[in-house]
Amino acid sequence: MRMDYIIFGFGLIMIGLAMLSLSTHANVGGIILIGPIPIVFGSSPESASLALILGLFFFVMMFALMRR
């Protein structure tokens, strides 16, 4: 496990939380990847749709990388 990836990911999470706390109205959405299967949630239809598109992108990328 590479420590620089962990620090980079933690930094991205902190930047996202800081941006979320500065906005007055925030729509949140997320993706939980269990293996190659994405589980999508969101606080509004727009954020859920964006998370769904990203989840499908990650699914296709994981499928393509597993085929090698």
Q: What is the DSSP letter of 43?
A: S
Contact assessment for residue 31 and residue 39, using Cβ atoms and an 8 Å cutoff = yes
Each residue of 20-39: pLDDT tens digit?
777 777 777 888 878 777 78
Burial of 54 (0-12, 13-18, 19+ CB in 10 A): middle
Residue 7 vs residue 35, higher pLDDT: 7
Region of residue 35 (left: phi > 0; alpha: psi -120 to 50; beta: else)? left
Mean pLDDT of 33-47: 81
